Amino acid sequence: MELNKKIDLLQEELIEKTQELIKIRSIEGEEKPGMPFGEEVNDALIYTLELGKKLGFKTKNIDGYMGYLEYGEGDEMVGVLGHLDIVPEGDGWNFDPYGGEIHDGKIFGRGAIDDKGPIVSCIYGLYALKEIGFKPNKRIRILLGTNEETGSQEVGYYLKKEEAPTLGFTPDGFFPIIFAEKGLTVFSLVKNFNLLEKCPVVYIKGGNRENMVPDYCEVGIKIEDKQPIIEKVVSYSKANSINLSYEINDELLILKCVGFSAHGSMPELGQNAIMQSLIFLNYLNICDGEVGETIRFLVENIGLETNGKSFGVYLKDDASGELTFNVGTIRMSENSMLLGLNLRYPVTCTFEQMMNPLEEKIEKVGFKVENMDHQKPLYFPKDHKLIEILAKVYHEQTGEEAELLAIGGGTYAKEMPNTVAFGPVFPGKPDLCHQSNEYIEIQELMKMTKIYANVIKELSE
């Protein structure tokens, strides 16, 4: 029987198992013996492993960190990496977030598209292959993650105990294919000031996360004659079309700047309230000594740029475009400043190409790098066997060309060697991950099952 016809016959079962998995509220909880991420996540893992057993697959539970379903024989292994854990449901739902209800051809629930529906899709794609008698030349392993939403610690544990896929994909991104993901860094620039110096700026605070363009920044100034600054706030905000205001709180004049947020991977789409505040402070020229020098340094070398050119760290390639540079947080007191940065560098460049000139630049003004978190780029050349097979099958199953996507963000694929993000969100469809009223369309669940089944077949032949 043709593979796609077999999948059509499995539609009712596929829908039912997706609903059952959605009904398990698999949010990370308190660690328990054999349940490193809590009881609810473990319930989802046990459910899926039991489903795999019923469908005739070899299964393994790796100490509650991960599990897998396996089919076939061979030295090489095709991996399909999905995750069973979910983010909290939040507010604003029209339907029970753990009901798995069907309305207008859509299955609603937290995790429907991220990743419970896609995991069931891959399991039933593999089951359809088994049922039509397909004998792969490689082992096929569906890997069940349990900690993607809060750190992906389970993948590191898995890799200490088990082998990485020879080739694989994760249904935890977008169709057609994400072939390039920039190198990702989050870190702090820290500087201590000379305590003997006096500066009217008592504090600066802005932003909540390094990987978001900050939409608010506040500056506290202790100064007797406030009127000249108040007049400049009014004239400057008008002349520069920025949202700058003030209030007086006891002895302090508090400056408030409102920008608008954007993701740290696309800082050019936002309006950075921290940098606008520093530019205005530099314009006021009320700080002498180290504080004034530091503010001037940041304004002259970052300003409103989002590509690192003036900072000397600009990089660009054909595969993924320009480096992005985001100042996401600031905390400044009278004796220190901490800036939270999020820099993402092109996939064919190196961490050292970015950090060496950055270290050189900040040394002159006394900043130090602290709390560095780094993920290397993910990059598959367009003629890589994995990319060519995914593109071929996608075209055959949808009739559309497989556009290769390069992103500044990071997907689950970065956690597992030899893996690329492939679906489940189709072009032109909303990205409902982590949103209220998350759903997966039944029609698209069936379409992705056919894509995934045919890809697994070709990768394992």
Q: Catalytic positions, please?
A: 85, 148
C-alpha triplet 69, 84, 40: angle, nearest 5°: 115
Contacts of 109 (CB under 8 A, 6+ apart): 19, 22, 23, 95, 96, 97, 98, 99, 100, 101, 116, 438, 439
Cα–Cα distance, 442 to 319 (Å, whole number): 34
Cβ atoms within 10 Å of 223's Cβ, excluding its own? 14
Candidates 117, 92, 94; CA nearest to 17 is: 117
Cα–Cα distance, 9 to 217 (Å, whole number): 57
Cα–Cα distance, 68 to 368 (Å, whole number): 44
Q: Which residues pair with 107 in a beta bridge?
A: 102, 440
Are the C-beta atoms of residues 422 and 169 closer than 8 Å to each other? yes
Cα–Cα distance, 439 to 434 (Å, whole number): 11
- CA dihedral (211, 291, 355, 377) in degrees, to 10, reads 0
Cα–Cα distance, 387 to 317 (Å, whole number): 19
Cα–Cα distance, 360 to 372 (Å, whole number): 16
What CA–CA distances, in Å, run from 100 to 70, 103, 386, 449, 459?
27, 10, 34, 19, 32
Are the C-beta atoms of residues 217 and 330 closer than 8 Å to each other? yes
Cβ atoms within 10 Å of 157's Cβ, excluding its own? 18
What CA–CA distances, in Å, run from 411 to 346, 406, 420?
15, 11, 9
Cβ atoms within 10 Å of 112's Cβ, excluding its own? 28
